[in-house]
Amino acid sequence: MSILSGKNILLGISAGIAAYKTATLVRTLIKAGANVKVVMTPASKDFVTPLTLSTLSKNPVHSSFYNEDDKNAEWNNHVELGLWADYFLVAPATANTLSKMANGTCDNLLLATYLSAKCPVYFAPAMDLDMYKHPSTKNTFKTLKSFGNVIIPAASGELASGLVGQGRLAEPVDIVAFMEADILKTLPLKGQKVLITAGPTYEALDPVRFIGNHSSGKMGFEIAKASANLGAEVILISGPTHQKVSHNLIHVIPVVSAQDMYDAAHQYFNTVDVAILSAAVADYRPKEISQSKIKKKDTTLTLELEKTKDILASLGAIKTKQLLVGFALETDNELEYAKGKLKKKNLDLIVLNSLKDKGAGFKTDTNKVTIIDNKNNVNAYELKSKAEVAIDILNVIKQKLNA
**What residues act catalytically?**
213
User: Going by C-beta distance under 8 Å and a sequence separation of 6 or more, which residues neighbour residue 142?
Assistant: none
Contact call for residues 381 and 370 (beta carbons, < 8 A): yes
| The total number of residues written for the chain in this structure | 403
Question: β-strand 366-367 against 384-385: which pairing, if any?
Answer: antiparallel
What burial letters (b/e) apply to 81-105, b meaning 16+ CB within 10 Å? bbebbebbbbbbbbbbbbbbbbeee
CB 165 within 8 A of CB 159: yes
Q: Which residues contact 177 (CB under 8 A, 6 or more apart)?
A: none
CB atoms within 10 A of CB 317: 10
How many Å apart are CA 301 and CA 280, to the nearest integer?
25
**Stretch (H or E) spanning 250:** strand 250-254
Residue 251: closest CA among 194, 295, 303, 306: 194
CA distances from 392 to 43, 381, 382 (A): 46, 9, 11
Rounded to the nearest 10 degrees, how much is the dihedral formed by the CA atoms of 169, 174, 178, 179?
A: 80
Q: How far is CA 293 from CA 119, 124, 209, 297, in A?
A: 61, 64, 8, 12
The vertex-144 CA angle with 147 and 118, nearest 5°, equals 45
281 near 258, Cβ under 8 Å?
Answer: yes
Which letter does DSSP use for residue 150 in this model?
Answer: E
